[in-house]
Amino acid sequence: MSGKPGYHGRILEIDLSSGKSRTVAIAPEDLDKFVGGQGLGMKLLWDRLKKPGIDALSPENPLMFIPGPFSGLPVPSSSRTCVVTKSPITAPLTSEHRHASTVTYSNMGGFFGPEIRFAGYDGLVVIGKARELSYIVIDDDKVSIRDARKFKGMRTDAFDRAFLEELGDRKYKTVYIGPAGENLIPYSSIIHTAGRAAGRGGSGCVMGSKNLKAIAVKGSGQPGVADHERFLTALEKARRALYGTTYAKSWAEQGTARAIVGNSNAGTESVRNYREGTFTEADKIGGDAARRDVWVRDFACYCCPLACKKSGVTKGKYGGVVHDGPEYETGVMLGSNLMISDMPGLLRAIYNIDDLGLDQISTGNVIGFLMEAYEKGMIDRKFLDGIDLKWGSVDATLAMIEKIAAKDGVGALAAQGVANLSRHIGQGSEKFAIHVKGLELAAHNIQGNQPRALSYVTASRGACHMSGNNIAMQNRRAMLDSTGMCFFPTFEPALEEPMLELLSAITGHEYHQAEFEKAGERIFNLEKMFNYREGFRRGDDKLPDRFFEDAFTIGAKKGAVLDRKKFEDMLTTYYRDRGWDTVTTKPGEAKLKELGLENI
Amino acid sequence: MTKENGGTFTRREFLKGVGVGGGALVLFGQFGIHSAAWALSGEATLKMVVVDYKKCTGCRTCETACSSRNKPAAVGGKELPGLGNPYFANIKVHNFNPDVDVPNVCAMCADTPCAKACPVEPDGKTGRRAFYRDDASHTMHNDASRCIGCGSCAKACASQRTGVIRPNPETGKPERMCTLCGGDPQCVKRCPFGALSYVEVRRDRKFYGLGPEKIAAELARNWYGTAEFGGVK
Ligand code: SF4
Ligand code: SF4
Ligand code: SF4
Ligand code: SF4
């Protein structure tokens, strides 16, 4: 134990090759500097992968589940777990290292992170590779690795139930992969509670490469706090900032789905493979329609007063139970982006993607690309194994989803992601292969939104819509995702002061605004150092040509298109303000020194 | 829709999914409606924790509020009220797939099958077995000094009522009896969604206890048209 308040001071390391596990102390200095979650995960990755070019799918690549200092305490919305590993998806334009790729992190809500802390750890680190498909069970200090062969190929919804039945104790919190992860589809997700996911960036693929089907954890312990009285006072303030507010109620009412119509009206939605920013039929798949026709209940993650998760049921040909959605990302990527406006069909696609353990965003993006290539005659029906992949076709979309997860026929190509797919198809299709560094863009379109374009190109894991539209936002979010708190409640300004108070009371480290952002900046810079070491340069911070050439033809932002010169100027300013070299993007000595990263 | 006499809930709301004590009562009318919030005035009543399943989001804040007060964590030998692992709470939120969350808490059953199952001879003076009800608060208690840790109370509760109490894995003595927090229920106070209430209910009739699995199945049938849960039929 480090004796550092607010932390256990140790992680649990499980080596699937040897079948052994051990606890490893974390240096108190690392906890002060990198906090937890995304930040601590990045530091652990940096320490463990000492050289560039290590294959993300090799046993050496650690797969890490890192909660934060809020996790395991009754802090509002302290539900998040950050999954950190080396990306199996991204790649630089050129690099001397064969398997060069970025860091990747994926932040998941639910109940898993708090349970890790109840079990007595500040994080789980899985290394090695099991000989056969296996699962890990963690019950406080007891760790066992068990045979999972009988679950091979099982879809996540069925597995969610079967696994708890096998464990015989519903107190276990579980994460698992589906057939996609087992089949090493690069953009596989890790699923939790059947409807929550660590979706982006391929963490499910890394899990599959370790022959790891699932992890179950339960614990009877409790992390402490540095200043008990201060913690309790700040906790009351944090609750008051959110409980029963109009802000919280609006999340319970529609979750992120509200933006499906909102962003379409604003001309910032991904529509028709990013060709347009407005979907004329958005209202059919938006929050109002879902509230009216689909949703029956609202659900919350651990200690969260927002309840943005929805569940419901649909009828008809595509009918069935809906675990979640439409959310903004899922509803747009499988809806607007594919011109699908049939609500039950959309929800069937979303359900199947989670069930197979694929990333919703990359899957929707890849299918949108194929639809466009098909429409343009670059590929024919034979290429698509007979699937008539027309805009708006639910059946064709469902068929493609199955093929991708099974790597069957055209699915094996599509599984490689939009960058590789367009390279295979050629004929200028790269122009509308919508990715950055190999990771597909998300549901926010950018012809009329240059700041969001900055988020996509400069984010550490490839095209990430969450990273932030400017330096301050990027730093702040890197830090937020290191605390274990969800970022949705933090848009409420009244939460800011109690949130910082709580963090200080828990850790005994004073996090005023400037210190909070500085920690985020440090984390973001370490990610950059990792990516730079792998060989990523300015040329990799690049958008597909579509965004500079195809102006929107409809909607509020009709005529909008990005300007190359303005875009490059923005980037130059960005690197300079970051203290990075404007040609290579290498973080400068002065900046590293300022952040305490000079000797790392 | 008129508010029923003396209660928080309308009859219709109640029918849609309000249960007493984690479902010791009633769902959708078919189990009979006995001691709900519309107690006739003037009758003997008691106050207890009532759950509105339709409002519950499964956030487990109630668990943390309960353990924070009733079983606070001790860090370095020092008890820290306000901190507690939700596992040790007297209210337990059972979650299912498809999504149904059922907070389960002692229903303070009028006929206390749990206490009746206790094999320890009643005390000459108080008439109490090792598991007994406090007549003032109606909360259930364990006399640890006389308890032999046989688990009969928990077994009776599980087979006949909510199943909320359980034997301590080491001592076998029952845990998770709701204390009503001395009249200031923390779970009710902290629930962000108003799914819990501390209201007067009548207890002139026998409670028909339902465990969380049965309640979940009923709710799932109602909401999703299915009652297929993992390990729960
Ligand atoms: S705090 Fe309220 S909403 Fe949350 S689980 Fe408990 S009863 Fe349900
Ligand atoms: S049977 Fe169970 S629910 Fe009923 S009073 Fe006894 S302990 Fe409480
Ligand atoms: S466990 Fe104790 S209180 Fe419960 S029935 Fe046995 S002796 Fe009585
Ligand atoms: S009333 Fe108090 S003891 Fe009973 S469940 Fe609620 S918080 Fe726990």
pLDDT in tens, B157-204: 999 888 999 999 999 999 999 999 999 999 999 999 999 999 877 654
DSSP 8-state class, residue A128: S
Within 13 Å and on the Cβ side, how many CA atoms surround A569? 5
**CA-to-CA separations, A529 to A453, A537, B33, in angstroms, rounded:** 21, 11, 66
3-state secondary structure of B93: strand
* CA-nearest residue, atom 2 of ligand 2: B157
Please state whether beta strands B92-96 and B78-80 pair in parallel, antiparallel, or not at all (unpaired): unpaired
The shortest C-alpha distance from A321 to chain B (Å) reads 6
Q: Is the dihedral of CA A350, A355, A359, A365 positive or negative?
A: negative
Ligand 4: distance of its center to the CA of B90 in Å? 6
Of A165, A239, A321, the CB nearest to B224: A321
Q: What is the pLDDT along chain A (600 residues), one digit of tens a residue?
A: 447 899 999 999 999 999 999 999 999 999 999 999 999 999 999 999 999 999 999 999 999 999 999 999 999 999 999 999 999 999 999 999 999 999 999 999 999 999 999 999 999 999 999 999 999 999 999 999 999 999 999 999 999 999 999 999 989 999 999 999 999 999 999 999 999 999 999 999 999 999 999 999 999 999 999 999 999 999 999 999 999 999 999 999 999 999 999 999 999 999 999 999 999 999 999 999 999 999 999 999 999 999 999 999 999 999 999 998 899 999 999 999 999 999 999 999 999 999 999 999 999 999 999 999 999 999 999 999 999 999 999 999 999 999 999 999 999 999 999 999 999 999 999 999 999 999 999 999 999 999 999 999 999 999 988 889 999 999 999 999 999 999 999 999 999 999 999 999 999 999 999 999 999 999 999 999 999 999 999 999 999 999 999 999 999 999 999 999 999 999 999 999 999 999 999 999 999 999 999 988
Residue tagged 């276990």 (tokens): A172
Task: Tell me what pLDDT residue B1 has.
Answer: 30
Chain B contact for A239 (CB, 8 A cutoff)? yes
Contact between A260 and A331 (Cβ < 8 Å):
yes
Domain(s) labelled CATH 1.10.599.10 in chain A stretch across: 450-594
ipTM above 0.85, yes or no: yes
Top CATH class of A450-594 equals mainly alpha
Residue type, A246: T
First to last CA, chain A: 23
Domain with CATH 1.10.569.10 in chain A: 250-439
Residues B58, B99: contact at Cβ < 8 Å? yes
A249 in B contact zone (CB under 8 Å): no
Could you give all domains of chain B from N- to C-terminal order, each with its CATH number? 1-106+184-233 (no CATH), 109-177 (3.30.70.20)
> What are the residues facing A146 on neighbouring strands?
A135
Of A340, A360, A368, the C-alpha closest to A273 is: A368
Burial class of A429 by CB neighbour count within 10 A (0 to 12, 13 to 18, 19+)? buried
Above 90 in pLDDT, residue B19? no
Closest CA to B62 of B38, B95, B35: B95
Architecture of domain A250-439: Orthogonal Bundle (1.10)
Top residue of A161, A245, A354 to mutate, by most chain B CBs within 10 Å, is: A161
Residue nearest to ligand 4 atom 8, measured at CA: B66
* CA separation, residue A145 to residues A14, A37, A126, A215, A366 (Å): 9, 24, 11, 9, 35
- Is the shortest distance between the CB of B110 and ligand 2 below 6 Å? no
Q: Determine the residue of chain A that is closest to B227 in CA distance.
A: A321
Cβ of B106 below 6 Å from ligand 2: yes
Least CB–CB distance from B64: residue in A160, A297, A303: A303
Hey, is A439 helix, strand or coil?
strand
Largest CA distance in chain A: 69
Residue of B nearest to A115 (CA): B85
> Residue B152 Cα, ligand 3 centroid: separation in angstroms?
6
- CA of A322 to nearest chain B CA: how many angstroms apart? 8
The structure tokens listed for A88 are: 């199996």
- B42 to chain A, minimum CA–CA distance in Å? 34
**Which residue, among A582, A546, A541, has the nearest Cα to A562 in the 3D structure?**
A546
Q: Which residues of chain B neighbour A239 with C-beta distances below 8 Å? A: 190, 192
Q: Say if residue A320 is exposed, middle or buried (CB neighbours under 10 Å; 0-12, 13-18, 19+).
A: middle
Which chain B residues are Cβ-neighbours of A304 within 8 angstroms? 57, 59, 192
- pLDDT band at B11, cuts 50/70/90? very low
Which amino acid is present at A59? P
Peptide bond before residue A88 is cis, with ω within 30 degrees of 0: no
* Contact state of B58 with A299 under an 8 Å Cβ cutoff: yes
Chain centroid to CA B104: 5
Residue pair A232/B84 in contact by the 8 Å Cβ criterion? no
Residue from B195, B219, B201 nearest B16 by CA: B219
CA distance B40 to chain A (A): 31
The pLDDT, as a whole number, for residue A168 is 93
For residue A441, give the amino acid letter: L
| Range(s) within chain A of domains with CATH label 3.60.9.10 | 10-218
Between chains, do A224 and B80 touch, taking CB under 8 Å as contact? Answer: yes
Collapse the DSSP code of A164 into the 3-class scheme (helix H, G, I; strand E, B; otherwise coil) and give the result: helix
Please indicate whether, in this complex, the C-beta atoms of B95 and A193 are within 8 angstroms of each other: yes
- Do the beta carbons of residue A226 and residue A5 sit within 8 Å? yes
For chain B, count helices (H), then strands (E). 6, 11
Count of A-B CB contacts under 8 Å: 114
Quick one: fold of A10-218?
Aldehyde Ferredoxin Oxidoreductase;  A, domain 1 (3.60.9)
For the record, the structure tokens of A579 come out as 């203290």
